Amino acid sequence: MSGYSDNIIRNASGLVPMVIEQTSRGERSYDIYSRLLKERIIFLLGEVEDHMANLVVAQLLFLESENPEKDISLYINSPGGVVTAGLAIYDTMQFIKPDVSTLCIGQAASAAALLLCAGADGKRFCLPNSRVMIHQPLGGYRGQATDIEIHARETLAVRERLNSIMAKHTKKTPDQIMRDTERDNFMSATQAAEYGLIDKVIYDREVVSNPEE
């Protein structure tokens, strides 16, 4: 059984390769993402929304149940998306026992940048041509003035919480995070490392295999 829904796979790329493994019971085919899940690799691809977040959370919990001591790798290529969906993934990353190593391949923007920096200490990486972007949460509301005021207060409360989380993982103050996310703030992989969003820019697999070095 595939670890990814068929709809998500089709939407992600239109065509996903299948791989075939020889087992004692014969051949077994997997889509490529499910095969990599067996290696404890989870992909966070595309917009962060509720259905995608549920899949990522389920995979994190499954891999914890398989082996609570072995690291999980989260590969990120995402423009961000819904804040609450991102926080569902974030909370699960912090909740489970295994360390979650994060790796940006392509881009990590908005909520995806938060997840990138939320990896285990010393295990947060970017490939050299990755791009990272942080900013304040977006909101647009219509309706009665009272409802608009309620939503505005909620947006400010969420922004304060996001600033606090990012400050914790970058070792900066919430006030500095607030200033730096006032507008879209784009960074190269090297700049993301200097800012504290990641620990290292990596050029080969050896660094990922031995993050403590």
pLDDT tens for residues 196-211?
Answer: 999 999 998 876 655 5
Residues 136 and 175 in one domain: yes
Whether pLDDT at 168 is above 80: yes
Residues 3 and 33 in one domain: yes
State which residues form the domain around 22.
1-39
pLDDT tens for residues 134-160?
Answer: 999 887 677 788 888 888 899 899 999
Whether pLDDT at 27 is above 90: no
CATH number at residue 203: 3.90.226.10
How far is the CA of 120 from the CAs of 25, 44, 60, in angstroms? 38, 17, 14
Q: Which are the catalytic amino acids?
A: 110, 135
Residues 105 and 122 in one domain: yes
Residues 196 and 175 in one domain: yes
pLDDT value of position 176: 97
Residues 14 and 119 in one domain: no
Count structural domains, the chain: 2
Select from 107, 111, 120 the least CA-distant residue to 192: 107
Cβ-contact 52, 93 below 8 angstroms = no
Average pLDDT rounded to a whole number, residues 37-46: 97
Residue 93 and residue 76: Cα distance in Å, rounded? Answer: 14
Residues 28 and 61 in one domain: no
Residues 180 and 132 in one domain: yes
Residues 16 and 58 in one domain: no
Residues 31 and 131 in one domain: no
Residues 106 and 198 in one domain: yes
